[in-house]
Amino acid sequence: MNKIHQWQMTALKTPFSLVSSDMPTIQSNEALVKVAGCGVCHTDISFWNDGVRTKKDLPLTLGHEISGIVLDGPEHLKGKNVIIPAVLPCGECDLCKKGRSNICQNQLMPGNDFHGGFASHIVVPHKYLCPVPDSVLQKYALEQLAVIADAISTPYQVIKKSELEPGDLAIVIGVGGVGVYGALIAKIMGAKVLAIDISDEKLEAAKRNGVDATLNSKGMDIKEIKNQVKVIAQNLGAPKYGWKIFEISGTAPGQELAFNLITFTSTLSIVGFTMTKPDVRLSNLMAFDAKLIGTWGCKPELYPEVVALIDSGKLKINDFVQIFPMSKINDVFADTLAHKFDKRSVLVPDFN
């Protein structure tokens, strides 16, 4: 094979088209990876539809949730099945050395800083590529595992960051392609988990996979939701205080609800992204001695832990991934924007 095929965005809100070029030459710090699958993230939708600027000028191939096989690079990686971290830090700066590599200011992000994974092949820095053991591939196809790169690793990091402990009440707002993994990981870590969404289908899928309780908040005001949450917490035998709240819907109503659920010693983690500015009273953090934290991606050092969690069988992903050929990228993006999917979409190159 001597061509690389890319599904490239030529301008905001314009269709994607197939382009091809000669296979690139890699540098000593890089690897050439044949893409197995690339997940569709709402960050991609934000670049495509919402006016969020990419760091690299257009035209740019999007996609940062990638799994694949290393074709060229260092000898210890050649032929390996890998996950490409969505955030690729430098590993040398002060933030990296302090364990905050996920927010490294020299980081590179596929589909943002350079051409991403909606392609047949991708060239990436090889330093943090995460090998996938054969034991995991006996359970899942490599393309399904693309979701590790963001949809699973991002909530994994924030749940660890929240200092969640066994027996805590974890409230997950938004259990779509990312949030459902947050709910399941919180459950695996010993929390009593309440999932809140406006989709019965998403809530039912979360409940089938072990979430303790669900609440469809559609049409309810914040006061009514708060009262329902208190009742559910009591029925679960959960603590009255110290709730761990995870806002993953990426909506202003979700963020306002999450903030209003703060109680004494709560920790609110903001995971979902929106350009909208919610109206909240920050003094509640002082009054409740609560914490508000953000998170960005996941540091690559945690990826082996996520892979091990899937390898152990504790975290199952079959119910939450759907596969499409990459040639259907226009349709998948449009349907994602229209909220037609209850599962994470992964695009698989037609030419591999």
Identify the pLDDT of residue 270: 97
**Class of residue 222 by CB neighbours under 10 A (exposed 0-12, middle 13-18, buried 19+):** middle
Identify the pLDDT of residue 11: 46
Out of 3.90.180.10, 3.20.20.100, 2.40.50.140, 3.40.50.620, the CATH code matching 3-150+298-348 is 3.90.180.10
Identify the pLDDT of residue 10: 45
Identify the pLDDT of residue 225: 98
Identify the pLDDT of residue 342: 83
Identify the pLDDT of residue 19: 78
Which CA distances in Å does 214 have to 154, 171, 236, 342, 352? 22, 10, 11, 16, 41
Identify the pLDDT of residue 6: 81
Q: Running DSSP on this structure, what letter comes out for residue 102? A: G
Structure tokens belonging to residue 108 = 């590179």
CB atoms within 10 A of CB 3: 11
Listed by start position, the domains of the chain span: 3-150+298-348, 154-294
Q: pTM for the full model? A: 0.92
Identify the pLDDT of residue 4: 78
- Tell me the average confidence (pLDDT) per consecutive run of 10 residues in the chain, 352 residues long: 66 65 89 97 90 90 97 96 97 96 96 96 97 97 98 97 97 95 97 97 94 97 97 97 96 95 98 87 96 95 97 94 95 92 93 82
Whether 154-294 and 3-150+298-348 are alike in CATH topology: the answer is no
HSE-up of residue 132 (Cα within 13 Å, Cβ side) = 27
Identify the pLDDT of residue 2: 62
Identify the pLDDT of residue 331: 94
CATH classification (class only), 154-294: alpha beta
- 256 three-state secondary structure: helix
Identify the pLDDT of residue 246: 98
